[in-house]
Amino acid sequence: MFRQTRVRKAVFPVAGMGTRFLPATKSIPKELLPLVDRPLIQYAIDEARAAGIEEFIFVTARGKTALEDYLDHAPHLAESLRRGNKTSLLEELESTRMPSGSVAYARQDEPRGLGHAVWCARHLVKDEPFAVILPDDVIAGATPCLRQMVDAYRTCGGNLVAAMHVPPEAVGSYGILSSSAPDAALCAVDGMVEKPSPETAPSTLAVVGRYILDPSVLTHLSRAQVGAGGEIQLTDAIAAEIGRTGVHGFRFEGERYDCGSKAGFLRATVAFALARPDLRDDFRQCLAGATQVGVAAE
């Protein structure tokens, strides 16, 4: 029997330097880069809220002061909007406000991998299941991805990872799952490997940036075992729970955008802008014009 404990806490690993987006990230944390008019971190927070998360744990590093300021209340800005009778902007601002006491920070003193970042939050997670959300992975769907996972978690417990099939040539960029039913919406996992070669990959079912984890994973991370890339891999710690608390892959409904890459960020910008009624028509015309310019330039 697994523990039927509600998922109340989420860990957001946001200590990375965002070097792929230099020079923009020289002074701005990559999590604050705007996708249309909302920063990446806001999409992650909103998804967590929709899943019933009550405690938000951010694993930060030096140079993330702007991120902490963003998560703080802005009374002077709110008062300025109120005095200017800018009601819609005030409502937008208030929608991003975090309840008092709901935000906590853990510091990652050196970049040692995703597993190490999650381990840094151990004293705040304590002894209960918790979610991990990577803000770089933006997932659009009718039902937010983590909400889908929380619902599925009630049936399986243990450890649950979001998964999707990727092209065979891309498996070396992901943690890859082995399962007897890789095409099922919810599949039991019998093996996990981080960044395998296409020749040795057990499948094309890849882990993406959403997890619900049993606290026993933190025990494995405490051993600080180095894995692929010379880093402490979260995948390795989760794999150690196969046959213990159990691991399942969850094929979510929705579209995932890799906003950790420039091309993925641009794809997400186009998709999210076209989904906005207030931007759709003008932006579609802009894209058509840009396409015509590109053809003429060729």
Pick the more confident residue, 228 or 116. 116
Average pLDDT score over the chain: 91
Q: Are strands 205-213 and 186-188 parallel, antiparallel or unpaired?
A: unpaired
Residues contacting 91, CB < 8 A, separation 6+: none
pTM of the predicted protein model: 0.91
- Model confidence at 292: pLDDT above 70: no
Q: How far apart are CA 232 and CA 210, in angstroms?
A: 18
Closest by CA to 58, choosing from 134, 112, 111, 129, is: 134
Whole-number CA gyration radius for the chain:
20
pLDDT for 258 equals 95
Can you give the length of the chain in residues?
Answer: 298
| pLDDT bucket at 298, cuts 50 / 70 / 90 | very low
Span 229-248, average pLDDT? 90
pLDDT for 296 equals 46
Q: Hey, where are the domains in the chain?
A: 9-260
CATH number for domain 9-260, candidates 3.90.550.10, 3.40.50.12170, 3.50.50.60, 3.20.20.70: 3.90.550.10
pLDDT in tens, 4-51: 568 999 999 999 888 999 999 998 999 999 999 999 999 999 999 999
Q: What percent of the chain has pLDDT over 70?
A: 96
pLDDT for 180 equals 87
Span 250-271, average pLDDT? 96
H/E stretch holding 40 reads helix 40-50
